[in-house]
Amino acid sequence: MKDAAATITLDIRKQKKDGTFPIKIYVWQSSAKKGKFYGTKLSITKTDFHSAWETVKPRKLFQPLRERLQKLQTEAQAAIDELENFSFEAYERKAAIPKSEAMNVFYHYAQKIQELKAAKQVGTASNYEMSFNAIRKYHSEPKLNFKTVTPKFLQGFEDFMVNNDRSLTTVSMYLRTLRTIYNDAIAAKYVDVDSYPFGRRKYVVPASKNTKKALTPLQLAALRDAKANTPDQERARAFFFFSYASNGMNMKDIALMKWEQLEADRLTFIRAKTKRTKKEQQKAITVFLTDFHRDIIAQYATEPSLSNYVFPIITGDMDAEQQHGVVKNFTSYVNDHLGKLCNANDLQKTSTMWARHSFATVAVLKGASMEFMRESLGHSDMKTTLNYFAGFDDEARKELAVSIMDF
């Protein structure tokens, strides 16, 4: 049994000045016991609507309108039936796409970017925009048909990017967004699954180069004790180690940290990256506060009476796009001055990304299990956690070689 159905109805809730009422498509979802009206730009009197639509056989005068309404209903029902899992949002997205744009990859990109921005997923929207712009440079035509996206097309795009000094990691990121666009189009039945160009014996998206970016305990100690030449370098190092000591908390979550998340002995937060997931799948991360945490908060935090946010990075009046820009600038600031600190002290060049990987690696070296690390990092699967572990250094291997003979 179909979960949703479309019918033509006369919306008599509000009469127009000319005495007519709007004709609308009414979609009812059985499982949710919910319905919604959708406009058709047509209006008519009650009497004429009855003559054109509600009679078994309309008079010749009303036959053209009858056929037009039947077409609207048929198209609406077809859009519903083509959805793998019905939702009003999915139906609205599908119904809003003109037939002339249904096979246009660029149109679907623009729609996806718009949806992500509306959902305040500014970072993800930015990734789609970069992918969109790169593919448009490669394919200069105003439209890109899904059927044009063949394994040969994708390999050509990869070669184009590499020849323009872009890394395979960048190619991977851009083509994974295109793959999502393509999968969405298949789910909506705009394109046939047999045309799918990705996968074995077709085109395989390059694996992202997973460079292990973790400092050893000795390198971390050297960075902690290095001489900072400016207050900016000192501040950058403080936020790097705040991230490291807080389960590898990223800069966005530090910027969004609120006083209400702090208790006497702990900080509890949900990663901004996972807040779009279902509530039952969200993983709250707990960080137990040390004297180091308290020192950093005492030195760099705002007064609770002045802001809900712990650190003076973002303000409550910023929208999602402004927050994204400010956090991006703050991360660049920390990385820039952290790099200068490392250069001045002949240390391994480091960035904020290294803090998370370093936390994961050092914690495992000190005996934490991978399951414990998965929970601490807020990952939903073990494979992601394993990608953060940089492996054992030579000293750890030597220790193991000696210890296995100690019965």
Q: For 212-258, what is each residue's pLDDT tens digit?
A: 578 888 899 999 999 999 999 999 999 999 999 888 888 999 999 99
The dihedral of CA 331, 336, 338, 339: what is its sign?
positive
The answer to whether residues 284 and 268 touch, using CB atoms and an 8 Å cutoff, is yes
Give pLDDT, residue 399.
Answer: 55
Q: Please name the residues in contact with 369: beta carbons below 8 A apart, sequence gap of 6 or more.
A: none
pLDDT at position 1 over 70:
no
Q: Which residue reads 């807020």 in tokens?
A: 378
Strands (E), 258-351: 266-270, 284-288
Residue 28: name the closest of 50, 7, 55, 1 by CA. Answer: 7
Which pLDDT band, with edges at 50, 70 and 90, does 203 fall under? very high
What is the pLDDT at residue 14? 85
| Residue 282 DSSP symbol | -
pLDDT digits 0-9 by tens, 84-122: 778 887 787 777 777 788 899 999 999 889 888 877 788
Residue 278 — pLDDT band, cuts 50, 70, 90?
A: very low
Is the pLDDT at 6 greater than 90, yes or no?
A: yes
DSSP 347: -
In this prediction, residue 393 carries a pLDDT of: 54
Per-residue pLDDT for 166 more than 80?
yes
Question: According to the model, what pLDDT value does residue 348 have?
Answer: 87
pLDDT range class, residue 68, cuts 50, 70, 90:
very high
Q: Are 240 and 220 in contact (CB under 8 A)?
A: no
Pairwise CA distance, residues 132 & 126, whole Å: 10
Q: List the single range of 48-62, 237-251, 254-268, 386-400 with lowest mean pLDDT.
A: 386-400
Contact 95, 79 (CB under 8 A): yes
Calpha distance 327→129 (Å, rounded): 19
Please write the tens of the pLDDT for every residue from 395-404. Answer: 555 554 555 4
DSSP string, 359-382: HHHHHHHTT--HHHHHHHHT-SSH
Mean pLDDT estimate for the chain: 85
- Is pLDDT at 343 greater than 70 in this prediction? yes
Taking 80 as the threshold, does the pLDDT of residue 277 lie above it? no
- Taken in order of first residue, the domains within the chain and their CATH numbers are 4-95 (no CATH), 99-195 (1.10.150), 217-402 (1.10.443.10)
Higher pLDDT, 92 or 148: 148
In this predicted structure, what is the pLDDT of residue 240? 94
The pLDDT, as a whole number, for residue 256 is 92
- For the chain, what's the residue count? 407
Q: Which of 385, 359, 386 is nearest to 249 (CA)?
A: 359
Q: Tell me which range, 84-88, 162-166, 296-300, 352-356, is most confidently predicted by mean pLDDT.
A: 296-300
Judge whether 309 and 315 are in contact, CB under 8 Å.
yes
Segment 323-335 mean pLDDT = 93
Q: What is the CB neighbour count within 10 angstroms for residue 345?
A: 15
Those residues with Cβ within 8 angstroms of residue 404's Cβ, 6 or more apart along the chain or in another chain:
none
How far, in Å, CA of 324 to CA of 196, rounded?
34
Q: What own/partner pairs with CB < 8 Å and gap ≥ 24 does 315-320 have? A: 319/120, 320/120, 320/122
